[in-house]
Chain A
Amino acid sequence: MGQTLTEQILSHKAGRRVQPGDLVVVEPDVAMGHDSLSPGIIKVMQERLGVSRVHNPEQVVLVLDHVAPASTVGVADNQNLVRRFAGEQGIRLFEVGRGICHQVLVEEGIARPGMIVVGSDSHSTSYGAVGAFGTGMGSTDVALVWATGKTWLRAPETLRVVAHGRFRPGVDAKDFALKLGRELTIAGATYRAIEYHGLEWLSLPGRQTISSMAIELGAKAGIFPPTGVAAVDWDVPDWLFVDPDATYTQTVTINLDELEPQVAIPHAVDDVVDVGAVAGTKVDVVFLGTCTNGRYEDMRDAADILKGRQLAPGTRLILSPASRVELQRAIADDTLNVLLEAGAILTTPGCGPCMGRHQGVLGEGDVCLSTGNRNFKGRMGHPSSQIYLASASVAAATAVTGVITDPRELGIRN
């Protein structure tokens, strides 16, 4: 019997052949914490577990990205606490402005193929983009990893997603991720890992978009085989490969040749329609950013549409690059300037207003079209505000017209 990528990784780490349903105790390669939850993790480790020092400082990574720079005295004090902890314990810390944890760990080569990466953030499924088993945990679980070096996992079954064909112009990885939500629903992959096939030609940013949203289907992980164009320079362990004899509990097939731009409508990630069904809906705020769609490629897609155009009167475009590196790439080839000329507001690289804490909180009745990953009621601000989710191209087209717009109507160059 063959094994899925998830089974291979967990077996390698557990030192025995693991079957779905087994409980395994493993040493994650990385245990990431960010500014939002790390103060709580430190408290659990030091006060409730009574462990003063992390088991292995090399295993731990800290990133200040969620409310960064600080918006209140309390937030600032918490970030200072995290900085002091990192200094005392010899832990790598990425400062305010470096970027979103999931982007930074990939850029820095900290998350790599075959690893187990856990993080105090549900979008830790993002590390599946590099062929790692990435999963989100709560503060207590991460505190236990920091204290002992280990965690327990129930080995999940694997759901296989097979893509056929290629995206048409104006359609991209975000539309694929939203389409999966539409097909599988918000709980369709609960307790399971997703493995993506038929996308060897897809670049790393596209893979990150899709893996980041695996959690929106309830998945424990969302793994791409570390092969194809994104993986040319990667060091892939020889035990990690797509095994034709692996067992999948379900296979879902998506035909990309027929895929339209997708939009998730308020207030559910799996309430997804073709863009045409909501075209014309008035939007107050367009948000371009997040671990799902805040990379250079997203800014470039937006700039392709915004070049020589202006935001519709009364519409705001908030741009939060996923990292400083992505921002610098957008500066280097004038992409950023195109966005600013059109009227975009640039924030610090980081999570931006995604979870409604700063840099563009929504007011009563505000309608937002976001390139992010969640449109839960009240997530970005007032409970009466509304969030639509879509690709960077749909976001840019919508910013130009002030109403939800199919980007193909404005002309697509790519």
Chain B
Amino acid sequence: MNYEAKVWKFGADVDTDQIVPGRYAPFMLKEGQDVKDYAFIEARPDFARYARPGDIIVAGNNFGCGSSREYAPEALRRREIGAIIALSFARIFFRNAINLGIPLFTSPEAVALLADGDEVELDLGNGRVLTSNLTIDLPPLPEFAQEIVAAGGIVAYVREYGRFPGEP
């Protein structure tokens, strides 16, 4: 195992203004600027600077509350975040993130056991996260959400199946 993914740990009620402040919306940016460089720019500047592809976000209740701005999860997708594990997610963020194909998990165990800066391996195939001395199983999402993420997001899902989740 190579524990190359880093844990970025957050508290409860992380709102979308913290993930990407409205002043850094894509349409407010200048030519050549990318919204991914503004993820947590004020709430967690070290994330904005140092988060690497594959890193995971671990958070408390109600992650992603607030506005419907899809550029918040989009910034995290462009950062190639491996997964977001939280106690719970706000509804619109949950839907937006799943639609973009970002793996989400609700796991009280993982939130309790993982600390900021931990080095881990995310094993999406088996639905678990490993540290040098722990193996934490991640409870699967509802089936429709798993299918959307597996397809690579809702656009790919609809193109592949020609229907919406829940549609015969």
Contacts and interface: CB of A to CB of B under 8 A. Distances in A.
B138 to A, nearest CB: 20
A356 B23 contact: yes
Contact of A25 (B29, B159, B164): B164
Nearest to A190: B91
B167 A25 contact: yes
B90 interface: yes
A37 B70 CA distance: 8
Contact of B68 (A24, A48, A122, A152): A122
Interface residues of B, number: 44
B131 interface: no
B30 A49 contact: no
Contact of A357 (B15, B18, B28, B90): B28
B27 A122 contact: no
Interface of A: 22-25, 36-37, 39-40, 44, 48-49, 67, 72, 74-75, 78, 120-122, 124, 136-141, 143-144, 148, 150-152, 186-187, 190-191, 215, 218, 220, 268, 355-357, 361, 374, 376-379, 381, 383
B29 A23 contact: no
Contacts of B96: 138, 140-141
Contact of B13 (A139, A140, A268): A268
B159 A49 contact: yes
B67 interface: yes
B155 A48 contact: yes
Contacts of A137: 68, 92, 95
B136 to A, nearest CB: 24
A140 B28 contact: no
Nearest to A24: B166
Given A75-B27, A137-B68, A187-B62, 5 more contacts: A23-B165, A37-B68, A49-B155, A152-B167, A218-B90
Interface in B16-54: 17-18, 21-23, 25-30, 42-43
B91 A357 contact: no
Contact of A187 (B21, B65, B100, B164): B65
A140 B100 contact: yes
A355 B67 contact: yes
Contacts of B163: 25
B166 A122 contact: no
Nearest to B61: A187
Given A48-B155, A139-B70, A376 B92 contact: no
Interface of B: 13, 15, 17-18, 21-23, 25-30, 42-43, 61-62, 65-71, 73, 88, 90-92, 95-96, 99-100, 144, 153-155, 158-159, 163-167
Contact of B17 (A39, A138, A150, A374): A374
Contacts of B164: 25, 144, 148, 150-152
12 contacts: A23-B165, A39-B27, A67-B28, A122-B67, A122-B68, A137-B92, A138-B70, A140-B96, A187-B61, A187-B90, A378-B42, A383-B21
Contacts of A136: 68, 92
Contacts of A150: 164, 167
A383 B38 CA distance: 14
Nearest to B94: A191
A191 B167 CA distance: 20
A43 to B, nearest CB: 10
B158 to A, nearest CB: 7
Contacts of A141: 95-96, 99, 154
Given A187-B61, A377-B43, A140 B155 contact: yes
B162 to A, nearest CB: 10
A220 B144 CA distance: 19
Nearest to B89: A190
A356 B18 CA distance: 13
B153 to A, nearest CB: 7
Contacts of B153: 140
Contacts of B167: 25, 150, 152
Given A150-B164, A355-B22, A357-B23, A376 B154 contact: no
B5 to A, nearest CB: 26
A233 to B, nearest CB: 31
B158 A144 contact: yes
Contacts of A49: 155, 158-159
Contacts of B15: 374, 376
Nearest to B90: A218
Contact of B99 (A40, A138, A218): A138
Contacts of A75: 27-28
A78 B65 CA distance: 26
Given A49-B158, A140-B99, A141-B95, A379 B90 contact: no
Contacts of B154: 140-141, 144
Contacts of B17: 355, 374, 376-379
